[in-house]
Amino acid sequence: DTGVSQNPRHKITKRGQNVTFRCDPISEHNRLYWYRQTLGQGPEFLTYFQNEAQLEKSRLLSDRFSAERPKGSFSTLEIQRTEQGDSAMYLCASGLSGVLGYTFGSGTRLTVV
Amino acid sequence: ILNVEQSPQSLHVQEGDSTNFTCSFPSSNFYALHWYRWETAKSPEALFVMTLNGDEKKKGRISATLNTKEGYSYLYIKGSQPEDSATYLCASSLQNDMRFGAGTRLTVKP
């Protein structure tokens, strides 16, 4: 297992387009998290899955954002009608219930032009 | 809502200097305190997880302490090296998620 994998590493898109990011967690991890990090800020929590169930969503996750984790394995984060304010690093992390801490991926850097 | 603060925001030191950063967090509803090291273009790497008041952890030249009663943690780096240059993030967690500070960006000059 090579850790948490995120694709793509970088994405440049025009305002108004839809984008989708993928996260492949460590295979035995049942928890998966999405965070967003903008310049000068720490990672901000977006959403959390336990297996395939989305258990918590931040208020930051507007109606244009949707995340899925079908079958409790990989997850996708889709942003519809992107805005310049969506430009950020999107981080995925996975972990195990009952075990403190997560393993992070390298992130997907989104630039909306 | 957790509010995690880190200071300083950035730090420039010479190779060989020892340094430390502060993380403050709300002491109520505390579950665990995490330190991560994040180098550019890489994944954040877990350094320490601490849960008990008075916890001290050490990994090579890096160590951390925890005071849950007053809500702070210190990260120390002894004899900084250029490869220590990174952003150091702390996060306070409840059981299901973590809330991060903005990080301390450390630059170690040779």
Residue of B nearest to A106 (CA): B43
pLDDT value of position B1: 42
pLDDT above 90: percentage of residues in chain B: 84
* pLDDT tens-digit readout, B3-17: 899 999 999 999 999
Q: Which long-range contacts (CB under 8 A, 24 or more apart) does B28-33 make?
A: B29/B2, B29/B94, B30/B68, B30/B71, B30/B92, B31/B92, B31/B93, B31/B94, B31/B95, B32/A100, B32/A101, B32/B92, B32/B93, B33/B66, B33/B68, B33/B73, B33/B90, B33/B91, B33/B92, B33/B93
Pair A46, A35: CB distance under 8 Å: yes
pLDDT tier at B2, thresholds 50, 70, 90: low
Which residue in B6, B45, B100 is closest to A43 by CB distance?
B100
Q: Answer yes or no: do B97 and A45 touch at CB < 8 A.
A: yes
* pLDDT tens-digit readout, B20-67: 999 999 888 788 999 999 998 899 999 999 999 999 999 999 999 999
Query: Is residue B95 pLDDT above 70, yes or no?
Result: no
Sites in chain A below the pLDDT cut of 50: none
Which residues of B fall below an 8 Å CB-CB distance to A?
4, 6, 32, 34, 36, 41-46, 49, 51, 89, 91, 93, 96-103
pLDDT value of position A23: 98
pLDDT value of position B40: 87
pLDDT value of position B77: 98
pLDDT tier at B96, thresholds 50, 70, 90: low
- Residue B31: which region, alpha, beta or left (left: phi > 0; alpha: psi -120 to 50)? alpha
Q: Which residues contact B50 (CB under 8 A, 6 or more apart)?
A: B32, B33, B34, B57, B64, B66, B73
Q: Answer yes or no: do B100 and A44 touch at CB < 8 A.
A: yes
Window A:6-25, CB contacts with B under 8 Å: none
